[in-house]
C-alpha cells in the first residue's frame, strides 16, 4: 500500500463529501469506514482503501476523523496507539469539550497531536466546500493542516486549548435547533389563525426575527413537507445534550437550552434517531393541530 498525503477515518454522509473535496484538490488519500460500501464509493473517486483505522494511521502522517459519537471517537483514538506513521489527527466530529480532552489524552500516549476541528453547514456545505470549520489546538500544527482544511470551507482558528472549538460548535448547534423549535411554534400559531406560512417566513426574514430556520430550513424542507435537510435528530439531540451538560458544568444557566433538549428528546422518541431534525416541526404541528405547509396565494 502506498503512503498518502492524508487519511480519513469515517466517510459517512459528511465525511464522504469532505474526503472527496481532498481528492478533487489533488491530494492522495487513504480511507476507512465500517461501511464497505462507503469506502468503495471513494475508491471509485481515487482514494485508497484501508482495512482498519490503524491501517490508515500506518499509511499517512495526517488523518481526519468524522465520526458520529464521542464514544466512537474515543475508541478509534485509543486504537491508534500502535500507529507507525501518524503524527496529527484533526477531529471533525462533534464530541463536546470533554470528549475532545479524552481524545487528546489518548493520542498523546502515542505521541500523536490532536487537533479539534468540528464543522457546521450540513451535507450541502460538506459537498460544496462551504462549511464553517472551527479549529483549536497547537497553532504551528494548525498551519500545517490549514491547506487541507481550506478544502472544507471557511476556517476559524479559536485557540490552543483542546475542546475550545467544540464549545464553539455546541453553541452553534444549540442555536440551530432552538430557532427551529421557536419558529415552528410561531408559524404554527399563524397558520392556525389563517396566515400563509410561506408569507410568514418572508415577513420574518425581512424583519428582526430572521434566522437560519426561516431563511433555509423552512423553505427547503418544512414548508415542502419533505423533512430532509440532512441532519439526523439523534445527532442534534446529542449535540444539544452535550451543550446543556457543559454549560451546567461551567455554572452557566441554560434554561431555554434545556427546553430545546426536551423538544429533541420528544422528536427522537416519536420519529426515531435517524429522522431529520426538522421533524421538530412535526411535533409542534401535532400539538397545535395544524399543518405548516406552503399555500398558494
CA 27 to CA 22: how far, in whole Å?
6
Mean pLDDT of the chain: 95
Q: Which residues pair with 115 in a beta bridge?
A: 90
25 with 137, same domain: the answer is yes
pLDDT for position 297: 45
Is the CB of residue 155 less than 8 Å from the CB of residue 100? no
Angle at 82 between CA 76 and CA 87, to 5 degrees: 80
Domain that holds residue 222: 167-288
pLDDT band of residue 295 (cuts 50, 70, 90) is low
Known catalytic membership, residue 154 = no
150 with 192, same domain: the answer is no
CA 163 to CA 91: how far, in whole Å?
11
Domain final position from 161, 193, 227: 161
In a domain, 297, yes or no: no
The pairing of strands 48-49 and 88-91 is: unpaired
- 96-108 vs 164-192: helix crossing angle, rounded to 10: 150
134 with 175, same domain: the answer is no
In a domain, 215, yes or no: yes
Distances (CA, A) of 258 to 52, 90, 182, 251: 38, 30, 13, 14
91 with 234, same domain: the answer is no
pLDDT in tens, 103-133: 999 999 999 999 999 999 888 899 999 999 9
- Strand ranges for the chain from DSSP E: 6-9, 29-32, 48-49, 62-65, 88-91, 113-116, 119-120, 131-136, 153-159
CA 281 to CA 146: how far, in whole Å?
38
pLDDT for position 1: 81
In a domain, 1, yes or no: no
pLDDT in tens, 250-269: 999 999 999 999 999 999 99
Which residue of the set 2, 75, 139, 169 is catalytic?
A: 169
111 with 222, same domain: the answer is no
pLDDT in tens, 218-258: 999 999 999 999 899 999 999 999 999 999 999 999 999 99
- Strand ranges for 4-152 from DSSP E: 6-9, 29-32, 48-49, 62-65, 88-91, 113-116, 119-120, 131-136
Domain final position from 161, 187, 213: 161
Amino acid at each position: 500500500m502506498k503512503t498518502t498525503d492524508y487519511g480519513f477515518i469515517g466517510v459517512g454522509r459528511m465525511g464522504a463529501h469532505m474526503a472527496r473535496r481532498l481528492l478533487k484538490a489533488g491530494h492522495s488519500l487513504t480511507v476507512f469506514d465500517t461501511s464497505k460500501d462507503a469506502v468503495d464509493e471513494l475508491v471509485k473517486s481515487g482514494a485508497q482503501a484501508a482495512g482498519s483505522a490503524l491501517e490508515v494511521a500506518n499509511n499517512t502522517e495526517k488523518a481526519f476523523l468524522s465520526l458520529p459519537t464521542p464514544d466512537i471517537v474515543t475508541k478509534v483514538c485509543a486504537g491508534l496507539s500502535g500507529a507507525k506513521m501518524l503524527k496529527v489527527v484533526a477531529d471533525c466530529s462533534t464530541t463536546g469539550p470533554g470528549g475532545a480532552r479524552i481524545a487528546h489524552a489518548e493520542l498523546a500516549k502515542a505521541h500523536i497531536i490532536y487537533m479539534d476541528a468540528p464543522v457546521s453547514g450540513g451535507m450541502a456545505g460538506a459537498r460544496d466546500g462551504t462549511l464553517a470549520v472551527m479549529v483549536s489546538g497547537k497553532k504551528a500544527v494548525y498551519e500545517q493542516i490549514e491547506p487541507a482544511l481550506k478544502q472544507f470551507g471557511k476556517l476559524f482558528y479559536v485557540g490552543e486549548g483542546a475542546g475550545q472549538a467544540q464549545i464553539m460548535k455546541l453553541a452553534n448547534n444549540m442555536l440551530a435547533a432552538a430557532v427551529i423549535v421557536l419558529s415552528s411554534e410561531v408559524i404554527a400559531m399563524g397558520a392556525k389563525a389563517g396566515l400563509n406560512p410561506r408569507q410568514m417566513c418572508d415577513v420574518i426574514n425581512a424583519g428582526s426575527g430572521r434566522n437560519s430556520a426561516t431563511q433555509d430550513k423552512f423553505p427547503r424542507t418544512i414548508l415542502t413537507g419533505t423533512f430532509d435537510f440532512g441532519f439526523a435528530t439523534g445527532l442534534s439531540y446529542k449535540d444539544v445534550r452535550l451543550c446543556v451538560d457543559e454549560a451546567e458544568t461551567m455554572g452557566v444557566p441554560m434554561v431555554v437550552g434545556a427546553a430545546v433538549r426536551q423538544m429533541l428528546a420528544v422528536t427522537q422518541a416519536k420519529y426515531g434517531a435517524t429522522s431529520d431534525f426538522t421533524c421538530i416541526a412535526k411535533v409542534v404541528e401535532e400539538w397545535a393541530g395544524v399543518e405548516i405547509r406552503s399555500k398558494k396565494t
